[in-house]
Structure 1
């Protein structure tokens, strides 16, 4: 543990005490928990940072959208607006948050909303929608979800569990007991049964919980931010220089994927949910144009792409080969149909 984080241990103890008391007040009924007749599926985690919540929500949308009218609700982290707001595909991320906008652009038939007060937000969107998906809502105890999905990043499962601010946990590991389904995300594609058993022993699911293992798969084609053309990733080779632009929590998986094709990476990295400025883009454009080769490309993530789609920034990058790299949620142990059936049965039985 870094020395500076060790200094924060007393604050973690105080934080943990507050969270423990808060959860008990909900458990004892002193703080109100609201239930709804509309089926609600919650997706969340215990840690801060990227564990694949938005890809999970998108996967849920993909298996439910043909049979049900769907709505998603999240806080809209990083937005400069307050209160309830419907998210439209032509919005800018500064008003909605990047992840809700990403969903709105990808699934135009899904109603996407943001609101800090989840109870108020659900009351606003429940009419006319069959199922509501709550993104990043595991700690929002004021709402009682009908089905709760908890995600753990595979790469973090064997690390020591410390609460904020010394560690990365939002609440104690025992909080996992509220989940109905636990998913270990971002697993290596070749994860062995022995390794799955090891992780199962670490996570210690309760008897009422189903445990699944999943991975993130990078699509074989990049998608242009400007003209929507596709570029096959196989066309990137060891002679290609990749300018990588990211503002996400965990970048190692993407870097590792690019390195399978080219080691020549110039990484422009920013903090998670970073609002890209004109200065940021001018720096990227200048460096890109200064490199004297035709074998060069700019790659970013889907989440970062929505923050680049503003009138000011698109003017700067409109003549550059800049692409987002789509990702897909994948179950690695042959239990995709089992998971799908759990979700479909829940929706069917509660409508």
Structure 2
């Protein structure tokens, strides 16, 4: 795969120019963006792959759900449904997409959860609901510039900063690094818990934020129990199990489990992987499966796996939550 990326290097300038020109056209108004008279917050990234958008959206929901009627709006990647879809009691991961369904399953009637590849159309449909949202959280929409969010939160992982990357197809960037200027806040995610002040300063210098931008650092906090619909088990009580992951980067999860001296085999699949009949038959042979919450909501649809699949909950913590929270709350209050 790496060799192929190097072979495709001659296409990097083409991709760079096309995405750079697209942004210039939006910046100059040659391509139109739609603004709204209610708060819209976008959480996204410059790169492909997992930067922690889902736990950040959940963080914002917890922060703001008692203040505003919230709707999340996602593309609904790999879902079976088309167009605008608003989650209800009949929703599942297949029709809604795994991450949106995770939002709905976790917060249920406290928020509205919608999907639409056309974010303008999605917002228009949300505003037609009987109880229209007062705040829309856009999930993974940093490059969806037909909607002009009032507040942009850009995520980049500690191990793979966008400042060190190339655009596709050789690198992982969806657009040139200069696109970071659209962010109000930049969050370096998945940081080690012992990240030093000097290391933070080094990263901030590398990012070189604009005067209007703030840089924060976030950390994954893993739960002490694995959870299913019916049961919970303490992490330190686990014996041998099978770890199943279908996410962009399972390394932090694997590292955490190994740090607990747990014994497991790891079945690693690609991000948003569609589990096959053969996969499910293999899983049925396992006595205990631990997975991510995103994978868990997809595996829920298989009754034969009931009772043997658990997930490990995670939340994120920020290095300076009071300042971060105030900036978000101040925007929402405008």
Normalization by structure 1: what TM-score? Answer: 0.91
Is residue 192 of structure 1 aligned with residue 193 of structure 2?
A: no
Equivalent residue for 1:235, pick from 231, 234, 237: 237
Q: State the partner residue of 2:148.
A: 144
1:93 alignment counterpart: 93
**CA shift digits 1:15-42 (9 cap, x unpaired):** 1111011111111111111001111000
- 2:207 is matched with 203
Say if 2:316 is the partner of 1:329: yes
Q: Distance in 1 between matches of 2:15 and 2:92?
A: 34
SS of the aligned residue for 1:107 comes to helix
Counterpart-to-counterpart distance in 2, 1:67 and 1:143? 23
Give the whole-Å Cα distance in 2 for the aligned partners of 1:328 and 1:347: 22
Structure 2 match to 1:293: none
Structure 2 unaligned residues grouped into runs of 5+: none
Q: Does 1:345 align with 2:333?
A: no
1:19 aligns with 2:25: no
Aligned 1:1-351 pairs, distance under 5 A: 2-88=2-88, 90-108=90-108, 109-126=110-127, 128-157=132-161, 160-224=164-228, 226-227=229-230, 229-236=231-238, 240-286=239-285, 288-289=286-287, 297-310=288-301, 313=302, 315-320=303-308, 322-331=309-318, 333=319, 335-349=320-334
Cα deviation code 1:201-256 (max 9, x no counterpart)? 111111110111111111111111x41x21111223xxx21200111000000001
Question: What's the offset of the Cα at 1:121?
Answer: 0.8
* TM-score normalised by length of structure 2: 0.95
Contact 1:89 1:105 in 2 (8 A): no
CA distance in structure 1 between the partners assigned to 2:133 and 2:149 by the alignment: 15
Q: Summarize the Cα distance change of 1:306–1:12 in structure 2 as closer, same or farther, 3 Å threshold.
A: same
User: Are 1:187 and 1:213, in contact at CA under 8 Å, matched by a contact in 2?
Assistant: yes
Equivalenced residue count is 330
Q: Which runs of 5+ in 1 are unaligned?
A: 290-296
Q: CA RMSD in A?
A: 1.5
**TM-superposed deviation, 1:158:** 7.8
Contact 1:89 1:104 in 2 (8 A): no
**Quick check: 1:218–1:325 contact (8 Å CA) kept in 2?**
yes
Q: CA deviation at 1:319?
A: 4.2
Cα distance per residue 1:255-307 (max 9 Å; x no partner): 01111223522111111001222321111222x25xxxxxxx32000100111
